[in-house]
Amino acid sequence: MCHERMISLCNFIDQKIDDGTFVPLVTAVNHFMRQTGKFLVLFVYFISAFLAFTSFFIIIPYEQLYKPIWFLIILGVFGLYFLFNIQYHYYKARTIPPVANPGEEGDVFCEKCNYWKSDRAHHCSVCEKCVLGMDHHCIWINQCVGSHNHRHFFLFVANLTLAAGTIIIAGYPSFYDHLFSDTSQTTYCTTILNNAPLQDIICDYDGFAKTSVVFCYLLSFILLIMVGGLTLWNVYLISIGCTYIDYLKLTGSKKKLSARRRLNKGLKSNWKNFLGLRRNRTFFKCVIMPTALPPVRYESLDNRPDVFDVV
């Protein structure tokens, strides 16, 4: 009985989808996601600015009570490095459009675009186009993560994860003292600190330093868990040569597993292709330094073109 009702419900939903009943709802949801994405882009810039301000002008100066100056200088240098990389790769990820691939006659036909799409292309209803090498639509960058901007997206989340981890490890004394400020002997505003240029201004606002430190630390912890998890998931997908869309598509049948093996060139080649380490490009230039690369096709192991190999 339940099985028959489930089949009836599925048939009803399929009928409503086919006759266009849900089109206005889907259109409204996609419009809402596009508009929300614009707000979230500004929110990301605001949060990153807050974390940078709190780290450089409150936490690092306060940590001189617990750490030597040379170590704080190193923290400052790494902090500036992470900040620049995060901003650079986030800007690139949200402004560089992923390659829209119309495909060729004989490929799978996309009824929404009314054109052919290649094997690695997937239609995004929010962006309203077929995206080559699509991983997912990210509301935080307000566009799809796919060919050409996927590398920047990964480096953005990876640097953000490392920055959050650094704040958590290096800033724990500051967090502890300010969280338990009622029993702590020192806080940012009750201690005369050297090399704290904004201490007088910050401490003019009652409770601002305490709130900023505690919120910065807790936010960093949340980012480490959520963005760190996303980073590890991307590490796994890149290691097997897949995007998230590929992973969802290529599971189950022997035919799909064969396609999965075709995508997977091996751990080393997968990472070299994803990071663009071709044509004498070095790890330092492509990963350590913030560098933009033109979209190029993967070079398959046997030097023959492969439509599955796309950066």
Residue 220, classified by CB atoms within 10 Å of its CB into exposed (0-12), middle (13-18) or buried (19+), is buried
d(CA 54, CA 51) in angstroms, rounded, equals: 5
The continuous run of DSSP H or E covering 35 comes out as helix 23-54
Query: Of 181, 217, 188, which Cα lies nearest the Cα of 203?
Result: 188
Q: Where do we find the tokens 């009570």? A: 65
Choosing from 130, 138, 216, 242, the catalytic residue is 138
Write the DSSP assignment of 53-86 as a string of letters: HHIIIIIHHHGGGTS-HHHHHHHHHHHHHHHHHH
- Our measurement of the distance from residue 18's CA atom to the centroid of its chain's CA atoms, rounded to an integer in Å, reads 35
d(CA 233, CA 54) in angstroms, rounded, equals: 29
Report whether 302 contacts 309 (CB < 8 A). no
d(CA 178, CA 292) in angstroms, rounded, equals: 41
Rounded to whole angstroms, the maximal C-alpha distance in the chain is: 76
Active site residue 138: yes
Q: Apex CA 126: angle with CA 121 and CA 128, to 5°?
A: 55
Three-state SS for 260-278 is HHHHCCCHHHHHHHHHCCC
d(CA 41, CA 86) in angstroms, rounded, equals: 13
Q: Kindly list the catalytic residues.
A: 138
